[in-house]
Homo-oligomer: A and B are copies of this chain.
Amino acid sequence: MLDVTLLGTGGVRPLPDRFLTSLLVKYRGREILIDCGEGTQTAMRKYKKSLQEIDLICLTHFHGDHILGLPGLLMSMGLEGREKTLTVAGPKGVGEIVSLFRQLGPVLFPVRFIEVHDWQEFYREDSLSITAFSALHSTVCFGYRFDVSRSPKFDRERAEALQIPLKYWNRLQHGETVAADDKIYYPEDVLGGPRRGIRLSYYTDSRPTEHIAAMVEGSDLLIGEAMYPDDREKARERGHSSGTETAVLAKNAGVRELWLTHYSPSFVNPGECAEQLRSIFADTVLPSDGMEKTLRFSE
């Protein structure tokens, strides 16, 4: 399962009651943060998240409202005694950004970086993989997709019928072929078909493209941009998406649920657009800061 916390929902500038857009994903004790605008460390404290559990920070792009909280976050991690390595992923140039921010700290723990590319799976831990995909903004920008794979169901009855010793079941269950007792036991003999995992996708600061729709297809939860409620022209001029455009994309991509985020400071009451946007895509949510959800395997 994936625990998802939308730490902030604001674009461009932090507001007294709205942190800048940032997403925290927790998987098996590891935290992964997407974007880190000014105030993200404060949002984490507000929503009782540990800075020290962060394993990976993914930056969508290098505009200030997505990165200027990073030096303070690194500094606070260091002051709290962090020693373990942090990884920062982002577009080409992420190494220079990290080096620059480390100087402001100072930051004494190791920080490594990953330059991501379109359609690149750059992170894999246990059953979780993260894939970057190109967004379309005024500068190089990426979205991120989280996939938790689910192992096929183990068919106990069949294993018993085939008289496979109990001690080999676990290995077979994990897809391992077992050669023992002068026999070969194949996992496919005792495993069911592929099962749906969990998919979470996130992008902001982008026009709604077919490429994005393809990359986020079938997500259990898509978190996408609504810089403006319904102003396609303004969104287009500035390389953003309106809520309407993102609701259309969510519908076309067959996602299960859509959360909108990265509201312009001028977009004061996003909730007022809920009805209109749900007429396009029924499972649209217009969250406030701190919205949380646990994504689980569906039966």
With beta carbons under 8 angstroms apart, the residue of B42, B64, B71 that contacts A16 is: B42
**CB within 8 Å of B: which of A53-75?**
64-65, 67-69, 71-72, 75
**Residues in B whose Cβ lies below 8 Å from that of A105:** 64
Contact of A273 with B by CB under 8 A: no
In this complex, what residue of B is CB-closest to A51? B13
Q: Mark A104-142, 1 if CB is under 8 A from B, else 0.
A: 110000000000000000000000000000000000000
Instruction: Assess the A75–B79 pair: CB atoms within 8 A.
Output: no
Copies of this chain in the oligomer: 2
**Residues in B whose Cβ lies below 8 Å from that of A72:** 13-14, 37-38, 64-65, 68
Bound CA span A68–B74, Å: 12
Instruction: Assess the A15–B42 pair: CB atoms within 8 A.
Output: yes
Instruction: Assess the A13–B41 pair: CB atoms within 8 A.
Output: yes
Instruction: Assess the B68–A64 pair: CB atoms within 8 A.
Output: no
Q: What's the least CB distance linking A64 to chain B, in Å?
A: 4
Which of A38, A69, A71 has the largest number of chain B CB atoms within 10 A?
A: A38
Contact of A100 with B by CB under 8 A: yes
With beta carbons under 8 angstroms apart, the residue of B38, B41, B46, B69 that contacts A41 is: B38
With beta carbons under 8 angstroms apart, the residue of B64, B68, B69, B79 that contacts A12 is: B79
Instruction: Assess the B69–A38 pair: CB atoms within 8 A.
Output: yes
Known: A37-B72, A68-B68. 15 other contacts (CB 8 A): A12-B79, A13-B76, A14-B72, A15-B42, A16-B45, A16-B46, A38-B39, A38-B41, A38-B69, A64-B71, A64-B75, A65-B72, A65-B75, A68-B104, A100-B100
Q: Could you give 9 example pairs across A and B, Cβ below 8 Å?
A: A16-B45, A38-B41, A39-B39, A39-B42, A64-B72, A64-B104, A64-B105, A65-B72, A68-B104
